[in-house]
Amino acid sequence: MSKTVLATILALAAFCPFNIAEGAKDSPNFIVFLTDDQGWGDLGCYGHPIIKSPNLDKFASEGLRLTQCYAACSVCSPSRSAILTGRTPYRNGVWRWIPGGSIYHLRDSEITITSLLKKRGYETCHAGKWHLNGKFNSDDQPQPDDHGYDHWLATQNNAAPNHMNPTNYVRNREEVGRMEGPSAVIAASEAIHWLKGRKDSKTPFFITVWTHEPHLPIESAHQYMKHYSDIEDEGIRQHHGNITQLDDAFGKLMAAVDEMGYRDNTFVFFTSDNGPEGNGTKGRTRGSTGGLRGRKRATHEGGIRVPGIVRWPGKIKAGSVSETPVIGSDIFPTICDVLDIPLPDDRTIDGTTLLPLFSGNAIQREQPLYWRNHLAPAEYRVGMRIGDWKIVGSDNLTSFELYNIKEDWQETTDVAGEFPDKFAELREALIRHDAAVLAEGPGWWKLDGQSKRANRKSAEPPAREDPTGAFDVVLGTSMSKTDFGYLMSPESEGLAFQKLDRPIKDRATIRLKYRSAQKNGVTRNGALVLASTPTNGASFKIGTAIGMNQHVAFAGGWGNVGNAGSKRAAFAPDDTFEIAVSLDLSKRTGSAEINGTTLSFSLPPDLKSIEYVGFYAKDTSTEFSVPVIE
């Protein structure tokens, strides 16, 4: 054989898949372990005084703990899409959490890190929650295997009926049926089984384990709750047990990695998809933000800042800590940089490589940290961070707040007035960046945005007796007389209506006082209620979301809070609020003066006359004075 022919054969062979796979055998392995609704403060290594998380605490001592790690969104599906694509959710199309059966999905036009690794000869596995399509396990939308996974065990959204013995897992497009044990342990065990069963143990792998824990419906195995047996509140025992449950699942996976000799050549990234659910004071949603403002769905830090720990022996210093802001979108370009894979040049990649950070150097960003969530309060729906500065804007980018996160990590003080030049700079940058993001994405958000949220279905509380004799209709609450007027103590959403002798059909002013009767806790609120029909869904509320630091107007139940108007204000939790509501039904408009702050709003079209006036509160005790109508 001539030297020319031999050289040609060798050159061609260099490009064949066999040789790419062979060359990949020295490449590092990757594991991304993602939890669901775990708050920034929900681990021992992040300062929680009670939660037992021995495996993750040990893991933090072996790697790099990120104190300013962010999810790409404050709800689940969008954060997941950013991890796989390196692109902010409104660009990649997964702009919202995905309801079952909906049109929304991670499109096959998106380039996932899994698909890139497959081309490099990697074997790939996903176990746990998927939540990147509405039509799960259907040919109508891409499934995990369409995005590069060789093997997968997944659910569309939550484990059903809860985290114990789930019945809705699907493995490689085949329904599995009931599986015994905690969901997180099932997911980790699936990854371990797959890893041990591979034909060639030297082929590099990429694994994503995405737990359902601690998302609702929370259910923890007894063995994990026993650590909290001295806590009387069952909700706390269940939540904290759920964190210990996922911690044990993580520990089992890491132990298997060690046992099989993969530890030294495996890059592991642990994080969460968003902040904790609920208000943190009742039920099983007891997650901790570690003192940050806001929770799941919020653009403030508590909704988006999450635990983040990375281990890569020999490349990352054990026990190190970094305050550098990073985001889930950074995982994609970091893996590409490790393997010298060129980033796609036909689309914007929002993340950046973290390799310089691992060696103690600064990282460089072309795109700022950016968030948009349609479920956040309308006044705080968009956010951007550049350096220590963070700007939060309303949905239509007409109102803004500015924070210096280094100096004010709890976002207590809007410093826009104190730093006008910086405020103007970031406001212009946010408006420009937001427009570019929305223009690049598929525009699905236009089909299902604010208009749908305004009509969100409201639960109807059960009828209750009124021992005071002052109300014609009482729903979901007890009522009692006080020196102030009346005390409302609702089970969830509570309403009390008085039928007017003469309905309001044109103009009127209604005056009222209210104050929180809670002695502790963040959830405090109270509102005046107007209605033609005395129901939750058909009534209109104007009042104060005390725990959210804003005055609000909304139609229907609490799920629509602020949909007719909201205004941030400064007040103390135990303040007494005096409200004067001016109405003009002929023009469908109104305004409320609340302790010197004016809130304007539009009345719903079906509120043609007001026949009932009353009170509203949710999950909190509130006192109201007798309303005066002028």
Q: Which of 48, 69, 73, 76 is catalytic?
A: 76
Q: How far apart are CA 300 and CA 522, in angstroms?
A: 15
- DSSP states of 500-567 as a string? EEEEE-SEEEEEEEEEE--SS-S--EEEEEEESS-SSTT-EEEEEEGGGTEEEEEESSGGGTTSSEEE
Calculate the alpha carbon distances from 9 to 4, 6, 482 in Å.
9, 5, 93
Q: How far is CA 37 from the centre of its chain?
A: 7
Answer for the pair 292, 301: CB distance below 8 angstroms, yes or no. Answer: yes
**Does 45 qualify as catalytic in the annotation?**
no
**Please, is 356 exposed, middle or buried when counting C-beta atoms within 10 Å of its C-beta (0-12, 13-18, 19+)?**
middle
Q: For residues 131 and 73, is the Cβ–Cβ distance under 8 A?
A: no
Task: Identify whether the C-beta of residue 97 lies closer than 8 Å to the C-beta of residue 132.
Answer: no
**Letter string b/e over residues 515-535, b meaning 16 or more CB atoms within 10 A of that residue's CB:** bbbbeeeebbbbbbbbbbebb
Tokens of 335: 């893996």
241 sits in which H/E element: helix 234-259
- Rounded CA gap, 67 and 306, in Å? 8
Respond yes or no: is residue 131 known to be catalytic. Answer: yes
Place of tokens 């007891």: 286
- Indicate which residue of 105, 131, 212, 433 is catalytic: 131
CB 466 within 8 A of CB 458: no
Q: Which residues 6+ apart lie within 8 Å of 606 measured at CB?
A: 532, 538
Within 8 A by CB and 6+ apart from 16, the residues are none
Q: Which two tokens stand for residue 517?
A: 């009767």
In whole angstroms, give the CA distance from residue 375 to residue 380.
10
Q: List phi, psi (to 5°) of 305.
A: -85, 130
> Cα(14)–Cα(35) distance, rounded to whole angstroms?
40
Residues 28/117, Cβ–Cβ less than 8 Å: no
Residues 6+ apart with CB under 8 A from 105: 93, 94, 98, 132, 133, 134, 135, 141, 142
CA 583 from chain centre, in angstroms, equals: 37
Looking at the DSSP bridge assignments, the partners of residue 371 are 383
Give buried/exposed letters for 439-459 (b at 16+ CB in 10 A, else e): ebbbebbeebeeeeeeebebe
Contact 191, 253 (CB under 8 A): yes
Q: How many residues does the chain have?
A: 630
- What is the three-class DSSP state of 112? coil
Distances (CA, A) of 526 to 51, 540, 551: 33, 13, 10
Dist CA 592 CA 578 (whole Å): 10
- CA angle, 333 as apex, 328 and 335 as ends, to 5°? 95
Residues forming the active site: 76, 131
